[in-house]
Structure 1
Amino acid sequence: MSQERAVVLHRSSTRVLLGINLFFVALWSITLLNPQKLNILWFLVVVLLAVLFIVRNKNVSRTDVVIAVILGCLAAPSSMFMGVCSAVAYVGGVSVLKKSKHAIVLCKMVNKKEILKTICLALLVGLALGTVNILLAKISWNIAFSLKPEWFLNAMRAGISEEIIFRFFFFATCIYFIKDRLLSKLDNFLCYLVMILPHVLLHFNTVNFALGSVLALALLFGLPFAVMQRKRDVSSAIGAHTVVDVIRFCSFGV
């Protein structure tokens, strides 16, 4: 490939990734009109894209489906809807990434040592970020520690569904639409932005939106999980995210 053609392709990828970011920001803006009713649009987009990826790639295995069902079942006790969406998103994401040069794996199960690394990383990052979350949240909320089964189920649902849908699947969406090309530094940044920004924006509305809060949430609780997925595996991010939410729910009940 000539250098000139490579530059053209990189520019094309950058435009596509910018477009994906703008699309999700626009989608969030639309849902602000009536969040309770219009947030369903996020999941409608995810399911439609997932079905497109599955049909176009035609490479989903029985193992992929079984793993998706397991993930969905783990999230379902807290929310059947989120469980189903997570399962569909996982299959759609895998169909794009399984043979990609930018592949993200569910878990590095090469040997027991690698599995232990994933578990330790999830616990260390989860405990650290969970502690930071408490220190920040106690400014506005009073700590009222409690242990309820629902806190653990809600945390598991959040860890699985948010990491699968808003990071794993959204990254797969980027890779699909840039046709698995190599990523420039700018493209890589835009991919991370897609993995972070939409999920962060969902925590804000017209009343509580503040740029500083968006940046803080993105850097503290978005970027670490995105990096863990890209550099390690999805399981480490799910584990850390779940630990953070268990600490939050048990400390504040919300």
Structure 2
Amino acid sequence: MKHKYTVLILLITAVGMIFITRAWLAVHTAAPRTFEIFDILTVVSAVILLLKGGRSLRWGDWAAALVLGAVVTAGMLFATLFSPYPFLGFIKSNAEQAVIRGTFTTLAALGGLVVMRRGGPVQFHAAAGNWRAISKGILLGLVIGLPLAVLNVFALKFTQGHPIQWQSPGAALLDALQPGIGEEVIYRFALWGLLWLMLRKSLPEKAHGISGLLAMLIHNYSHFDDLFIQSPLTALGLGAVLALVWGLPPLLLARRRGLESAIGFHWIQDAARFLAGY
């Protein structure tokens, strides 16, 4: 009993060391972005899990994961408003990014589906073709996300100091699929599931919630690479506020309504900011 929190403490320590080490390296030399580190760790872990437990997957699981990857790949090829950082500093073109992002999305989705088949914390209704659950989940994500998306636009207008500059609605809607699908699949589905697997034996009654919060914080604080170097305390405080306002809703939506609902919430956030020119 006294050792039940050992795995959790080790996980928190490891995550903290990744953030600290990355920030230290970035001060002294070129360093991968925090998102890249956790993307790679999550996808590699998902592949290992897939190799060990891939037989539990059904044809619908494979189809859903491949479709997600194809959507991300195709969308990145035609992206105009979404311009991610060069992956690992040298993968820059839309075509190169499309291959990386699409492959990572598919592999992370497959790993997350292996966890789901083991009773994991997040359901992916598309794998079962449950269109009613899919549509209701996405709609709820959009309804809850829309007012926060508007708030986000005005917050960006205030913090970035330049007025709204309307962009192509079609481009905004298309490009928002990149973070909306990619980040939710990797962090809200695969990483959450992997952390749950690590904690479910030592904390069986709390693993769902704790692993979800940890995955949310990793995703949230990965946005603050530069601020962690300039002002670590500001990064911690601002990250906590943003996690409360924009991190908890997709976490709860994913847990209660499925991955599609979290994707809908995330998508409307980025669609609104791309449309407004941020």
Please show how residues 116-155 of structure 1 align to structure 2 within 5 Å: 116-141=135-160, 142-147=163-168, 149-155=170-176
Letter in 2 for 1:171: W
| Equivalence map 1:90-105=2 (5 Å) | 90-100=109-119, 102-105=120-123
Q: In the alignment, is residue 38 of structure 1 matched against residue 28 of structure 2? A: no
1:60-88, Cα deviation, whole Å (9 max, x unpaired): 33322221111111112324112211110
| Aligned residues between the structures | 242
Give the residue type in structure 2 aligned to 1:106.
Answer: F
Q: Name the structure 2 match of 1:176.
A: 197
CA–CA separation in structure 2 for the residues paired with 1:114 and 1:177: 28
Quick check: 1:71–1:160 contact (8 Å CA) kept in 2? yes
Give how far 1:45 is off.
1.0
Written as runs of structure 1 = structure 2, the 5 A alignment for 1:1-254 is 7=1, 11-12=3-4, 14-32=5-23, 33-34=25-26, 37-39=31-33, 40-58=36-54, 59-76=56-73, 77-78=75-76, 79-80=97-98, 81-100=100-119, 102-107=120-125, 113-141=132-160, 142-147=163-168, 149-179=170-200, 183-185=204-206, 187-205=207-225, 206-207=229-230, 209=232, 210=234, 211-251=236-276, 253-254=277-278
Secondary structure of 2:125 counterpart:
coil
- Counterpart of 1:175, as a letter, is W
Check conservation: 1:175, 1:181, Cα contact below 8 A: no
Helix, strand or coil: the match of 1:152? helix
Question: C-alpha displacement at 1:173, in angstroms?
Answer: 0.8
Q: Which structure 2 residue ranges, 5 or more long, are not aligned? A: 77-96
Give the distance between the partners of 1:148 and 1:208, measured in 2 at CA.
Answer: 36
SS at match of 1:202: helix
In the TM superposition, residue 177 of structure 1 has moved relative to its aligned partner by 1.6
* Cα distance, 1:116–1:47 mapped onto 2, change above 3 Å: closer
Structure 1 position 191, deviation (Å): 1.5
Give the drift of 1:218. 0.6
C-alpha contact 2:116 2:193 (8 A) present in aligned 1: yes
Distance 1:137 1:69, change over 3 A: same
RMSD in angstroms over aligned alpha carbons? 2.5
**C-alpha offsets along residues 134-191 of structure 1, whole Å, 9 cap, x if unaligned?**
2322212321122154433331010111111112111111222235676434x44421
| 1:97 shift after superposition | 1.9
* CA deviation map 1:167-223 (0-9, x unaligned): 2111111222235676434x4442132221111111112126422211111111111
| Paired AA for residue 254 in structure 2 | Q
Moved more, 104-113 or 173-182: 104-113
Aligned to 1:4: none
Q: Which runs of 5+ in 1 are unaligned?
A: 1-6
Give SS of 2:176's match.
helix
